[in-house]
Amino acid sequence: MNIFPDYKISNTYGIKGVLEMVIEEVLDRQIDEQPKEVFYCTKCVNSNQRPRMRFDENGVCDACQYAWEKEHVIDWKSREDELRALLDKYRSKDGSYDVIVPGSGGKDSCYVSHQLKNVYGMHPLTVTWTPHLYTDIGWRNLQSFISSGFDNILYSPSGVLHRKISRIALELLGDAFEGWSYGSRAFPLHMAVKFGIPLVFYGENQPAEYGGSVELKNRSHDTFTDWGKVSYKGQKGIDTLIEKGLGYDRFTKEEVEGNASTLAFYKLPSSENLKNLKLESHWFSYYTKWIPQDNYYYAKRFCGFEPNPEGRSEGTHSEYASLDDKTDGFHFYLQFIKFGFGRCTSEAAMEIRCGHITREEGVAFVRKYDGEFPGKYFKEYLEYLDLTEDEFRHIVDKFRAPHLWEKVNDEWKLKRRVE
């Protein structure tokens, strides 16, 4: 059974379109650390294949344990008092920018920005690292967000360079999103340094909310010391991709040197600049109970946010998350290939923890939608990365872990699914 649409793509960006040119090396160290026995959380649908996920003696994942703490242990009034004290320290008296909020104009950045400005009296400058390929709904939501009262800097790195970074990230790490992830995290900090704004607010602490790295769950802000382990899959971020790209002749030395200013935005600002500014990068989810569905309704009410007009996104049942990039679906699809769980698992697990659906409903959603092939933008995805369909198949298959996948009648099947 061929799960891929019958697209025939020609190469357009100068990389030879033959299988011999596909890089065979795998650099994602998380794959090596996967437990070989697969099991699922007894309260939600999280898999133990999620990197750094931990479970208690009852088989409850760390995200569910944290969700219990959010309901029964954390004093949210005290947390809000902490937030007000923090913002009082940084709030400008002349209307000048006093906080950077990274975001796409999606539900979460709308919520954080609007709360900071209209509830807490801050003066945010919002910052956006452009998606690989904007969707119509993503662009409309960004414009609606700006129109609702926010200043915004939209940064687009060199298209040729970024495509090459995305291509080699897909081949080496199984995720073309990797370069985008570096930039979207680091660029706002550069803008903080440039404008002399020592406070940055991201949305949620993802490892705490979705699972993994539980040592971060009670931390209000990022100390910039955990990037290598948590964000970079055991690698050195963009430096690894550039070094490997040079070694595989995907970049020339002149190309790298000529794009030094662009590449700097994929990395943290210098430690000297961070120290001199006394920059603090906080998670809004530490101070308020983070409920993505509530953020959606809030953004819809106050920022004109629109859900997916098709009713749901490929690979999941939801309609309001990760809507801005045509390549989003492939990020989650490759996650499914590498770790055996996809977009629907993460979203259903969160909705179970928030009490919106039961575990039984979550299991049904996951079994129906997880791993669904994102065919809508497949042609554009291949063209963007200068890949043929055969090359894409080859890359996908090299990331299938033997303890997760088996071939049955010439079709790949997961050995174990949530139940």
- As a residue count, the chain comes to 419
DSSP string, 128-153: EEPPSSB-HHHHHHHHHHHHTT-EEE
State both tokens at 396: 């996908």
* Cβ contacts of 307 within 8 Å, gap of 6 or more: 296, 300, 319, 320, 323
Can you give the residue ranges of every domain in the chain? 19-70+321-414, 76-287
269 in Cβ contact with 193 (< 8 Å): yes
**How many other CB atoms sit within 10 Å of the CB of residue 360?**
9
The pair phi, psi for residue 47, each rounded to 5°, is: -100, 150
Say which amino acid occupies 165: I
What is the topology classification, in CATH, of domain 76-287? Rossmann fold (3.40.50)
Q: Name the pTM for this structure.
A: 0.91
- C-alpha to C-alpha distance for 183 and 205, rounded to whole angstroms: 18
164 in Cβ contact with 246 (< 8 Å): no
| Long-range contacts at 214-217 (CB < 8 A, ≥ 24 apart) | 214/54, 214/62, 214/65, 214/66, 217/62, 217/66, 217/69
Q: Which of 385, 380, 388 is nearest to 20 (CA)?
A: 388
199 in Cβ contact with 99 (< 8 Å): yes
State both tokens at 133: 């390929």
Q: Which of 346, 341, 307 is nearest to 324 (CA)?
A: 307
Q: How far is CA 89 from CA 125, 199, 209, 220, 283, in A?
A: 17, 10, 27, 15, 17
Residue for token pair 């995305």: 166
Q: Output the tens digit of pLDDT for each of the chain's 419 residues.
A: 233 333 333 343 344 444 557 888 998 888 888 999 999 999 999 999 999 999 999 999 999 999 999 999 999 999 999 999 999 999 999 999 999 999 999 999 999 999 999 999 999 999 999 999 999 999 999 999 999 999 999 999 999 999 999 999 999 999 999 999 999 999 999 999 999 999 999 999 988 999 887 777 888 988 776 555 545 455 578 999 999 999 999 999 999 999 999 999 999 999 899 999 999 999 999 999 999 999 999 999 999 999 999 999 999 999 999 999 999 999 999 999 999 999 999 999 999 999 999 999 999 999 999 999 999 999 999 999 999 999 999 999 999 999 999 999 989 999 999 99
- C-alpha to C-alpha distance for 15 and 13, rounded to whole angstroms: 6
Looking at residue 233, what is its pLDDT? 54
129 in Cβ contact with 347 (< 8 Å): no
Residue for token pair 């990389």: 15
The pair phi, psi for residue 102, each rounded to 5°, is: -75, 145
Q: DSSP label at 116? A: I
Residue burial 213-234, b: 16+ Cβ < 10 Å; e: rest: bbebbeebbbeeeebeebbbbb
Looking at residue 224, what is its pLDDT? 72
Looking at residue 29, what is its pLDDT? 83
State both tokens at 88: 């009082």
Looking at residue 227, what is its pLDDT? 55
Looking at residue 215, what is its pLDDT? 77
Looking at residue 30, what is its pLDDT? 86
Greatest CA separation for the chain: 69
- C-alpha to C-alpha distance for 356 and 225, rounded to whole angstroms: 35
